[in-house]
């Protein structure tokens, strides 16, 4: 017997757990100054939450019959924005660029700037996506 649950809902569950772990790290940052190792952990949590986010969007678009000529994070973000699944595509693109920047260059100022952007901007994107997908999941049969 085949599982009728759409793949995007499994991905959504993983994304939800990752988002909570990122929020946990941000809560710690709000309570006290964190160590360099904790900062690296926060950035790592951001990276895998963002990775799960674009893959969640891809799976949701696939489920809806959207066919992408190329499957890249940028293409998925554009298609999800065009389909009305996400808002603020420019901010999503900046989150993608921040992740890419952190993977290739280590500079303390850039690192701290990305952490501040995660706190002030990117975490909210993940919260918005979680809320939107929760609503879609409740209505998707």
For residue 49, what is the domain's CATH number? 1.20.120.330
Q: Is 65 among the domain residues?
A: yes
CA 55 to chain centre: 9
Neighbours of 98 (CB within 10 A): 22
Q: Is 114 among the domain residues?
A: yes
Domain range for 32 is 7-139
Q: Give the mean model confidence (pLDDT) for residues 30-58.
A: 95
Residue 37 pLDDT exceeds 50: yes
Compute and round to an integer the Cα radius of gyration of the chain. Answer: 16
Residue-wise pLDDT tens digits, 104-141: 667 788 888 999 999 999 999 999 999 999 998 855 44
Contact 110, 137 (CB under 8 A): no
Sole residue written with tokens 């920047």: 101
Residue-wise pLDDT tens digits, 4-25: 889 999 999 999 999 999 999 9
If one counts the domains in the chain, the total is 1
Instruction: Tally helices (H) and strands (E) across the chain.
Output: 6, 0
Tokens of 39: 């900062």
Q: Is 133 among the domain residues?
A: yes
For residue 42, what pLDDT is reported?
Answer: 95
Q: Is 76 among the domain residues?
A: yes
Residue-wise pLDDT tens digits, 68-113: 999 999 999 999 999 999 999 999 999 999 877 776 667 788 888 9
Q: Is 122 among the domain residues?
A: yes
Q: Give the pTM.
A: 0.91
User: Quick one: which of 54, 50, 13, 45 has its CA closest to 27?
Assistant: 45
Q: Is 2 among the domain residues?
A: no
User: Quick one: which of 130, 116, 129 has its CA closest to 34?
Assistant: 116
| Cβ neighbours for 123, distance < 8 A, ≥ 6 positions apart | 22, 23, 26
Q: Is 1 among the domain residues?
A: no
pLDDT over 90 percentage in the chain: 80
């Amino acid at each position: 017997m085949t599982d009728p649950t759409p793949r995007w809902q499994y991905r959504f569950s993983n994304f939800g757990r990752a988002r909570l772990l990122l929020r946990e790290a941000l809560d710690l940052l709000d309570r006290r100054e964190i160590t360099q190792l904790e900062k690296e952990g926060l950035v790592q949590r951001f990276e895998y939450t963002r990775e799960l986010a674009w893959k969640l969007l891809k799976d949701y678009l696939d489920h809806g019959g959207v066919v992408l000529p190329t499957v890249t994070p940028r293409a998925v973000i554009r298609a999800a924005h065009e389909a009305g699944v996400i808002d603020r595509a420019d901010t999503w693109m900046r989150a993608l660029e921040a992740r890419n920047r952190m993977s290739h260059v280590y500079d303390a100022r850039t690192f701290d700037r990305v952490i501040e952007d995660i706190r002030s901007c990117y975490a909210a994107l993940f919260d918005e996506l979680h809320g939107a997908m929760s609503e879609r999941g409740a209505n998707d049969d």
